[in-house]
Structure 1
């Protein structure tokens, strides 16, 4: 994965810190955006689909923990790293409880920060891949006919072909044909994979 695939969002109220971190990460090959306050970042967070966050814990308008809480509440959470000062460990632990994946104590070496950011960037890329895979499954589900959805519902419920056939008023052989069609349309290599796909998106035959 290229480091430029993921944008690193830096949130810190101190301009010198923002500029220093931005220079370091840009030099390391990351795409970077800086934000002077948690409020500024929250304003654009819902539109950030592929990124990760590095934020100071102590800021005047809103601290890092509250920022993470609000991101979670808005369903806009990103892989996040919090930067803490001496004595802020308890607050950092609170940040971890609210979704941060790592915290770094000041002063820290460039290598430690780069390594942590790399992990966060990988996590961000995994999130994007997972979201894309889920959307692909939803599109495949949407392509199914009503009858195929009914058969899929029975399959997910663990029903035998004969049971599904009795409920739908068709023959077991017809159910087998529908199941084969389901496997092809859903691009499932096995029955367990088909069931997992449906469960991952909380499939309901009525949707």
Structure 2
């Protein structure tokens, strides 16, 4: 039995009839819905990191929808945004899409078009969530390496042989093999190709100092 909560749709629109209509429609479609009459009310709410998207009116008193989008981008928000407007134009839609909007719909929007846009946004959000979770997991594994293991990792992914690594680090080849085995175990990989792929994802193949790189990665966590 799946006990997961349904996705939540945040509706930000100064028109109370729009908010009411969206609430009725989306609730009937098994979404959770929260409505806000202005960006100010929206910002006063604390949000959980959960599957969601925003239906955002463009023209509102106070902050416009485009300004709300800019503000959310500055906060590194990952919530997909679907713009709704009765007064859209090409330049406005291009600006919104370039800034990361998921869609730009013109009111009155057909139910099928709205649900299609919402489901697409939520699907992309789910994919992005999985990628972020994987990235965080990889960073956690990387941070678990000792300084010597970190040095070995950087040399291994650059194609160095065990004897070359031993010479460069002043260790025995047996010690390097032990460190290499530990690296593979902690990074949860079974081949050099997998390790190189992770190193590419971490963007460490072109970094000279493994220690400084690990510190910079930790600062971004």
Question: Do 1:9 and 1:33's aligned partners in 2 also have CA atoms closer than 8 Å?
Answer: yes
- CA displacement 1:90-111 (0-9 Å, x = unmatched): 2122111111011111222101
- CA displacement 1:141-199 (0-9 Å, x = unmatched): 23322221111122344434333222211234433332232222211243232233234
Partners of 2:114 and 2:55 lie apart in 1 by 10
Q: TM-score, normalised by structure 1?
A: 0.86
Q: Which consecutive unaligned segments of at least 5 residues does structure 2 have?
A: 215-221
Shift of 1:2: 9.1
Distance 1:114 1:156, change over 3 A: same
Q: TM-score, normalised by structure 2?
A: 0.81
Partners of 1:165 and 1:5 lie apart in 2 by 54
Question: Do 2:6 and 2:30's aligned partners in 1 also have CA atoms closer than 8 Å?
Answer: no
> How do 1:22-101 and structure 2 match up within 5 A?
22-44=23-45, 47-50=47-50, 51-101=52-102
Residue matched to 2:21:
20
Shift of 1:48: 4.1
Shift of 1:40: 2.6
Partners of 1:164 and 1:176 lie apart in 2 by 10
- CA displacement 1:99-152 (0-9 Å, x = unmatched): 101111122210110011001111222222222222222222233222211111
Distance 1:159 1:10, change over 3 A: farther
Residue matched to 1:200:
201
Partners of 1:39 and 1:151 lie apart in 2 by 52
Partners of 1:118 and 1:100 lie apart in 2 by 14
Q: Which consecutive unaligned segments of at least 5 residues does structure 1 have?
A: none
Distance 1:176 1:76, change over 3 A: same
Residue matched to 2:218:
none
User: Greater RCO between the two (CA within 8 Å, min separation 6)?
Assistant: 1
Residue matched to 2:111:
110
